[in-house]
Amino acid sequence: MTTPPNTPVPEGSVIITPAEVYREVKELTGEVRDLITADKAEQRERARLEGRVDSIDTRVSALERRWWIVVGAAIGGSTGGTALIQYIAR
């Protein structure tokens, strides 16, 4: 609805022109576009880091397996060695 020309504007009214609305929508569109671009970059970085974490996790798991084999062998060897020394010492 449009107001006829020469219509008095009530005191305290806010007048927003179509040009102002267009300018604000254009600025907002640019900001949204920038946010979308930044979000896509973050998604790519997250995917890259997830790949690195998976690789590191695999390597850590392999090291843990080897560690427990060494620990088990050391415990078994020390227990067996202790038993052998006790047997010889008799």
**Cα(13)–Cα(60) distance, rounded to whole angstroms?**
68
pLDDT (0 to 100) of residue 84: 62
Per-residue confidence at 10, pLDDT binned at 50, 70, 90? confident
pLDDT digits (tens, 9 = 90+) for 21-64: 999 999 999 999 999 999 999 999 999 998 888 888 888 988 88
Is 9 within 8 Å of 15 (Cβ atoms)?
A: yes
Label residues 27-37 b or e (16+ Cβ within 10 Å = b). eeeeeeeeeee
Query: Is pLDDT above 90 for 70?
Result: no
**Cα(82)–Cα(76) distance, rounded to whole angstroms?**
10
Whole-model pTM: value is 0.50
